[in-house]
């Protein structure tokens, strides 16, 4: 059995945890909000007064992977309801900018019209500067998905590096075409 999987998860102070055994749903409520996670029926979760223990029925590969996944999802829920999650995006390009209008994120990213993205419930977007966006929320999966959807609107291209990228993301650059006069014999005939 996994040494990490056997380790109990301590419930931080100020967090309420409840388990619905019929639906196998784990509910975590903290200062930032409430999250509900459906646990796979093969994985058993035991909630005592100050800790949670995740168990698997046998050592098959499926149960091993579900064991670690379930444990990590519970830990991520605790982090979400106490501190929250965030992803930072950067816009790179001439005239690229972003602004938040209510529950919509408006992007000027090189198209003839602004790109409007409706933010789902529980997700907040903040424009730090015109070219820097912070996506935040309590659900790690949803924060990552919204950030990926925004990035997919204009992925960074490899020649000039224009587009939307994660903060600190490295974009592998390509060399452009050489000028015809610079290479002897490569000019038009």
pLDDT in tens, 119-162: 999 999 999 988 999 999 999 999 999 999 999 999 999 998 89
Domains belonging to the chain, first-starting first, are 3-82 (3.90.930.12), 85-166 (3.90.930.12)
Q: What are phi and psi of 109, to 5 degrees?
A: -130, 40
DSSP 11: P
Contacts of residue 179, Cβ cutoff 8 Å, sequence gap at least 6: none
pLDDT in tens, 30-60: 999 999 999 999 999 998 888 999 999 998 9
Note the pLDDT of residue 183.
57
Write down the mean pLDDT value for the chain.
Answer: 89
More confident residue, 79 or 189: 79
Return the closest-CA partner of residue 91 out of 77, 79, 108, 67. 108
């Amino acid at each position: 059995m996994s040494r990490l999987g056997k380790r109990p998860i301590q419930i931080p102070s100020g967090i309420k945890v409840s388990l619905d055994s019929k639906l196998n749903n784990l509910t975590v409520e903290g200062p930032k909000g409430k999250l509900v996670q459906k646990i796979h029926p093969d994985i058993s979760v035991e909630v005592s007064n100050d800790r949670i223990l995740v168990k698997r029925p046998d050592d098959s590969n499926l149960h091993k992977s579900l064991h670690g996944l379930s444990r990590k999802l519970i830990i991520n829920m605790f982090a979400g309801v106490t501190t929250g999650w965030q992803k930072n995006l950067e816009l790179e390009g001439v005239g690229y900018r972003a602004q938040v209008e209510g529950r919509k994120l408006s992007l000027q990213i090189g198209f003839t019209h602004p790109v409007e993205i409706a933010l789902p419930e529980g997700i907040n977007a903040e424009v730090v500067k015109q070219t820097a966006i912070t996506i935040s929320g309590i659900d790690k999966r949803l924060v990552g998905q919204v950030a990926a959807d925004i990035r997919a609107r204009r992925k960074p291209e490899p020649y000039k590096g224009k587009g939307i990228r994660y903060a600190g993301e490295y974009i592998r650059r390509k060399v452009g075409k050489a000028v015809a006069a610079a290479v002897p014999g490569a000019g038009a005939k």
